[in-house]
Structure 1
């Protein structure tokens, strides 16, 4: 079993439950942080001391307070940790249930498991920890059921997500173009954006923009 684990969680009630679960698994060293910046510092120091962590368990959302933060969410913590210790095993423990975002965590950030917070989540977390230790891949808690091989969720790019988000907010074609120009997102011409929207309609078999947004919401893309 893992010997040294770092837990990044800002809610005491949840962190206590997670730490208790880790103790039941006979993990020797358990450290807990409430801030992502602090978590990264601990990872760095552990590496410098030649006593690296074996596992990181992190939430995605962290509430803002008076303390200035460079890393504001679990996604950013994982990305930063990957720079210094890419081989570190990573489990996300979060309430987030959008399939696209979860798949992005696996595909882009290389997490090993995703456990959804819920009624039986601590037991699910313990199962996930054991599976990660045994080098199983792409582990999901049992309440999350979707196919990792679904190309409609893998091939969608961040550019498409930006278009879908703006469409969902009621932006028309010209407005999307202007917004993309402000953000230096390319291509930002109305013709290119319209072609992309039409491609998305074909891809998802949507009859119109409203239908497209409805489908995108069902997939958790917006």
Structure 2
């Protein structure tokens, strides 16, 4: 798939001019900086530590050249002695105190409900994207939404946040989703359940249960449902 037209559209509509990436992993840091420049962001700076990120934010404010957007990981390996800030959560909170108008997107492997809830509802970040198979693609969607003053949650974080409690699948649902993930069609799943004496086992019951699970996970398609369930380690 040719992504150039999409990037050209980003270039023509990009509102963010100065972005700070807080990410401690070299490969992720370099790749993300390159991608952001590719979509038309003029100035992209990075920091591999929380303290370094705070210094860059303060410098930008001092010289009246503030950052428009902070993209921050949540987990950092400490490479200096006696760091003042060691986590992305604290970094984001401190940055919001210094510069209330800055947009913030958390970009992390963490998909815990308490963390997402704290950052989105209490700290007031603008986007939360889980790293993984579609992480970069979702991050670009988040940037596109956030620059237009919209909030953005990737499908994984959205599914996690909208669960009243940590979602639990019963044995029937786990087996159903595992069979779907293996590529079995609904008729084949119904036949399998019948052969094993598992109830309910009609095609209609299989279809209804999948529909209910899509609603529970806020998934638009069954493929997205499987992706979410696997990402949340439920199957």
Cα shift at 1:143 = 3.2
Aligned residue among 19, 42, 45 for 1:28: 42
2:142 aligned residue = 128
Q: Deviations over 1:155-202 (max 9, x none)?
A: xxxxxxxxxxxxxxxxxxxxxxxxxxxxxxxxxxxxxxxxxxxxxxxx
2:95 aligned residue = 81
Q: Structure 1 stretches (4+) deviating beyond 6 angstroms? A: none
Cα shift at 1:67 = 3.0
Gaps of 5+ in 2: 1-13, 167-231
Aligned pairs for 1:22-101 (under 5 A) are: 22-101=36-115
Query: How far apart, CA to CA, are the structure 2 residues paired with 1:133 and 1:64?
Result: 31
Q: What secondary structure, in the 3-state scheme, does the structure 1 residue paired with 2:150 have? A: coil
TM-score, reference length from structure 2 = 0.61
Aligned CA distance change for structure 1 residues 144 and 84 (closer, same or farther; 3 Å): closer
Query: How far apart, CA to CA, are the structure 1 residues paired with 2:79 and 2:160?
Result: 37
2:127 aligned residue = 113
Task: Give aligned pairs, total.
Answer: 154
Aligned-residue CA RMSD (Å): 2.0
Query: How far apart, CA to CA, are the structure 1 residues paired with 2:28 and 2:115?
Result: 22
Aligned residue among 140, 146, 150 for 2:159: 146
Cα shift at 1:4 = 0.1
Aligned CA distance change for structure 1 residues 94 and 149 (closer, same or farther; 3 Å): closer
Aligned CA distance change for structure 1 residues 149 and 116 (closer, same or farther; 3 Å): closer
1:213 aligned residue = none
Q: What secondary structure, in the 3-state scheme, does the structure 1 residue paired with 2:159 have? A: coil
Please tell me whether Structure 1 or Structure 2 has the larger radius of gyration of its CA atoms.
2
Query: How far apart, CA to CA, are the structure 2 residues paired with 1:45 and 1:76?
Result: 19
Gaps of 5+ in 1: 154-218
Cα shift at 1:127 = 1.0
Tell which has more relative contact order, 1 or 2 (C-alpha 8 A, sep 6+): 1
